[in-house]
A = this chain, B = another copy of it.
Amino acid sequence: MTRARLQDICEEELLSRLFPLFRGAAGPAEVLLGPGDDAAVLAAPSAAVVLTTDSMVRGRDWHDDWSSPTEVGRKVVAQNIADIAAMGAVPTGLLVAIAADPATEVEWALSLAEGIAQAAREAGAPVLGGDLSSAAEGSIVVGITAVGDLQGRRAVRRDGALVGDLVAVRGSLGRSGGGLQLLLAGRGRTHLDPPLGDADDPLARAIEVLCRVHRSTEDVPWRAGPEAADAGATAMIDLSDGLVRDLGRVAGASGVRIELDGEALAAFATGPLTLALGAEEAMRQVLSGGEEHSLAATFPRAAVPDGWEVIGVCADGSGEVLVDGEVPPVTGWDHFSG
């Protein structure tokens, strides 16, 4: 049986199959005009919008033999939602731009859209519109633009951390990076592997957890962003390029030194990470693993909300990030030089 490819159906047929997938999402801002016209119209309840864009590229940001199209769709939305949350805003809408090889299977594209739609519904961010383009052989680029609303809050920037503020994390650390490490080493679990049964051992379960996080970015704590803003967060960032690198951006923009507590960080390395990778590699992933999309923020000492784990403190300085007083031996991820 040959499977239909994008080049086999006309654009309007494809759109007529995509649009229904995106129905039913509703969020805090009214969609005044949805997909299908030249542009969409979205209410901006607080007379300002928060805007971000983030793309995923086949072969660079995902591999077809590791990740299902639904997982890719969930992940690219999660990355964008995390950026909105890190400003203290709630997501209100999404735009989707897909550039794909015309030989891409229609089913693959529909499953990608289903993943985008699932994550959009969960985040209360309806898909407002999009763009379809044909791309070179083998190439697929999925770009999302997310819109958010501050609901009257001021935006929490990277440059507001003050000396004496505590540094805290909401969500996990190192799991996505750990999953990537396992997949690169050929020890990972992919979307093609059969589901685990009751008899599978804790190691298999640990590997499954880490790889699933890498493949689809489960559990972005996006509601915690606005909560942190309400609690008085002085700075906040989405952890996309690794804890130390991202906190370095907060420290640099704010003009402080961030002193992290190795023991507090070690708590993030326990469980699946250490079981699957050993203690040393687990700790390396906690410090430098990318694409976790947890939130890190700084708070006045008495203001850290429930659910946030304190991992350090802001001191006098100019952009350094230290762990137990020393420069950690980690860098991070660069898109072009790798």
Q: A: which residues have CB within 8 A of B?
A: 6-11, 14, 32-33, 37-45, 47-61, 82-84, 86-87, 89, 93, 95-97, 99, 102, 128-136, 138-139, 141, 143, 145-148, 150, 155, 157-158, 236-238, 334-338
Q: Quick check: A39 and B83 within 8 Å, CB to CB? A: yes
Is B51 a contact partner of A7 (Cβ separation < 8 A)?
no
Given contacts A11-B335, A131-B143, A139-B139, contact A49 B41 (CB under 8 A): yes
So how many copies of this chain end up in the complex? 2
Select A41's contact among B48, B59, B129, beta carbons within 8 Å.
B48
The residue in A45, A57, A89, A141 that gathers the most chain B C-beta atoms within 10 A of its C-beta is: A141
- A155's nearest neighbour on chain B, judged by CB, is B41
Top 4 closest pairs, chain A to chain B, by CB: A44-B44, A39-B52, A38-B86, A145-B145
Question: Across the interface, do A51 and B39 meet the contact criterion of CB distance under 8 Å?
Answer: yes
A296 CA / B186 CA spacing, docked (Å): 56
**B334–A10 touching, CB < 8 Å:** yes
A55 to B97, CA, bound (A): 7
**Does B95 contact A38, Cβ atoms closer than 8 Å?**
no
Residues in B neighbouring A139, C-beta threshold 8 A: 135-136, 139, 141
**Cβ-closest chain B residue relative to A157:** B37
When the two chains form their complex, are residues B9 and A102 in contact, meaning their CB atoms are under 8 A apart? no
B54–A131 touching, CB < 8 Å: yes
Cβ contact within 8 Å between A134 and B60:
yes
* B87 with A136: CB separation less than 8 A: no
Contacts A/B (CB < 8 Å), 28 sampled: A7-B336, A11-B337, A37-B155, A38-B238, A39-B50, A39-B86, A39-B87, A41-B50, A42-B48, A49-B49, A51-B145, A51-B147, A52-B129, A53-B129, A53-B131, A54-B131, A55-B99, A55-B131, A55-B133, A57-B136, A95-B145, A102-B338, A131-B143, A134-B335, A134-B336, A134-B338, A135-B141, A143-B143
B52 touches A42 (CB 8 A): no
What chain B residues lie within 8 Å of A6 (beta carbons)? 336
Q: Which residues of B contact A89 (CB under 8 A)?
A: 39
Task: Write out the residue numbers on chain B whose beta carbons fall within 8 Å of the beta carbon of A51.
Answer: 39-42, 93, 95, 128-129, 145, 147
| A334–B6 CA distance with the chains assembled, in angstroms | 11
Q: Which of B55, B58, B99 contacts A57 (CB 8 A)?
A: B99
Q: Decide if B56 touches A133 in the complex (CB within 8 Å).
A: yes
Residues of B within 8 A of A39 (CB): 50-52, 83-84, 86-87, 89, 146, 148
A45-B47, A147-B49 known; A132 vs B33 contact (CB < 8 Å): no
| CB of A100, distance to nearest CB on chain B (Å) | 8
Q: Which of A39, A82, A134 has the most CB of B within 10 A?
A: A39
Task: Tell me whether B48 and A43 are in contact (CB under 8 A).
Answer: yes
CA distance A8 to B334 in the complex (A): 11
- Assess the A334–B47 pair: CB atoms within 8 A: no
Q: How far is the CB of A49 from chain B (nearest CB, A)?
A: 5
* B14, A336: Cβ atoms closer than 8 Å: yes
